[in-house]
Structure 1
Amino acid sequence: MKDVSQNPVVIIPGVLFWDSLYDTMKEVLAGYISKERVVVAPVNLLDWIGFPPSPEKSTNGVMKAVDRAVRAMKRKFPDEPVTLVAHSGGGTVAMIYLLEKSFQGDVYRTGNQVGKLVTLGTPFHTHEYYAKIKTDFIFRHLQKDFFERCRVVSVVSDKYHGNHQGSFVEKMCYKFYQSVQEDGNVKGDGIVPAKSCFLEGAENVTIADAEHLPTPHTRWYGTKEGVEQWIQWL
């Protein structure tokens, strides 16, 4: 078995995904870390959509759920820094949470509660409207000294190549990649182009065989096969 950090872990779901979709990831991590040290932030679909629908405000609701989970972990393990594992757009929410700057009226003083953020298929560079609200905020406030208090590891798969003249799968990937960045003729995880996840100051890791969406019968980041490709950076 790989040598894995035993710090408590809070998993953050991706945009429009909910906590129970991450049960398998939690179970796999519990094979490396004791079960009580791994939780999924209690996020549901309504948190992402809002009521009435207000996706631009979803970050604030999700940050509240993340903060509750982090504080609960700190009560159980007061002397240990928490590791956040964030999937997809949950990674940009995690960055905003950790920046300690006011975002739409909310700011969290995380201090040294969180020692590491591992993102899985998180696009930090995007032209998608609602995602760009978050990434613009991040780059407006992100300073080099941030990485001195919190290590960031950005993991992404380059399993699928986008090609508008290729197979059906390649054409679909091309369209998905184009929704994130202008050039769809690149490699990525089927939804997010790999290079959109590269963040200066972070440790950028490309893995070979994982898919983005937490759907049945796929080898996504949260399956046993997916986790084993990035667990060493936990």
Structure 2
Amino acid sequence: MPLPTVILPGYLESAIAYHQLQQSLQQMGFPTLTVPLRRRDWIVTLGGRPVTPIVRLLDRTVKQVLQQSNASQINLIGHSAGGWISRIYLGDKPYLGRGELQASLWQAHSLVATLMTLGTPHMSQERWTRWNLDFVNNNYPGAFYQNVRYVCVAGKTIFGEKRRGSWLAYSSYQLTCGKGNTWGDGITPIEAAHLEGAENIVIEGVKHSPRSPGVWYGSPEALKVWVKYLV
């Protein structure tokens, strides 16, 4: 029987944007729940502040799913920033965000069979996100936990260029990996979306956000490519 699955939304996104993906997974036999985030829940993390409130909500949702399903493990899907925030959740090192007086620790890697990241920027040159991402990559580089299956999905859709229609992608790629002339999903470049040691996948034609027009990572066309990696 498929494991229960939890979806962690991307930065500044709410759970409602993932309703269709959640339904699709449920129809495929995966009992699925999205972390019940509202867009305003992200406000406290702006400006590089700690993501502790988001991880607490993730932990609460995971514990709820495990109790309801009587399972010992889940699949965890993190979209965009939700992917690297999930890596904090897996970890054994105390997480002390800037300005926090008490460290938090979740040690959840034993609860997660597969970590699926969709369009996640696992690196950044942007000063507001560097502290958190440096914490992740310095403490848990690559596919860090051998008991967890890491699957990292990237989109090859827009080549970043300094011209109309590609300028946003160029700027976002440059801010993420240091160069704009590369392929990605319009927000996250391929090289930032992959991790060393993970099962790294590229899907052509997918855009970054569930609010993007056309196909995104959770659309049926893309879902059929990566769902087979879930336990």
- Secondary structure at the counterpart of residue 113 of structure 2: strand
Distance in 1 (CA, whole Å) between partners of 2:52 and 2:58 is 10
Q: Verify the 8 A CA contact 1:156 1:194 in the aligned structure 2.
A: yes
**Deviations for 1:164-214, whole angstroms, at most 9, x for unmatched residues?**
1x4x22223112211212210000001111111121121111111210012
Distance in 2 (CA, whole Å) between partners of 1:214 and 1:205 is 19
Q: Verify the 8 A CA contact 2:9 2:82 in the aligned structure 1.
A: yes
Where does structure 1 lack aligned partners over 5 or more consecutive residues? none
**Deviations for 1:85-114, whole angstroms, at most 9, x for unmatched residues?**
010001110000101221121111325211
Segment of structure 1 superposing worse, 222-231 or 202-211:
222-231
Structure 1 residue 55 displacement after superposition: 4.3
Do residues 69 (structure 1) and 67 (structure 2) align?
Answer: no
Distance in 2 (CA, whole Å) between partners of 1:92 and 1:103 is 13
Q: How does 1:1-234 map to 2 (within 5 A)?
A: 6-34=2-30, 37-50=31-44, 54-104=46-96, 105-110=103-108, 112-142=110-140, 146-164=144-162, 166=163, 168-215=164-211, 217-234=213-230
Distance in 1 (CA, whole Å) between partners of 2:160 and 2:143 is 36
Structure 1 residue 116 displacement after superposition: 1.2
- Change in Cα spacing, 1:163 to 1:217, as seen in structure 2 (3 Å) is closer
Structure 1 residue 148 displacement after superposition: 1.2
Q: Verify the 8 A CA contact 1:81 1:113 in the aligned structure 2.
A: yes
**Deviations for 1:30-64, whole angstroms, at most 9, x for unmatched residues?**
12125xx10001112222112xx754335101101
**Deviations for 1:104-143, whole angstroms, at most 9, x for unmatched residues?**
2111132521111000000112111232222211122116
Q: TM-score scaled to structure 2, two decimals? A: 0.90
| Letter in structure 1 aligned against 2:110 | N
Distance in 1 (CA, whole Å) between partners of 2:141 and 2:46 is 29
Q: Return structure 1 stretches of 4+ with deviation > 6 angstroms.
A: none
Distance in 1 (CA, whole Å) between partners of 2:68 and 2:47 is 33
- Change in Cα spacing, 1:29 to 1:170, as seen in structure 2 (3 Å) is same
| Letter in structure 2 aligned against 1:65 | L
Q: Percent identity?
A: 29
- Pairwise CA RMSD: 1.9
Segment of structure 1 superposing worse, 125-134 or 154-163:
125-134
| Letter in structure 2 aligned against 1:232 | K
Structure 1 residue 147 displacement after superposition: 2.7
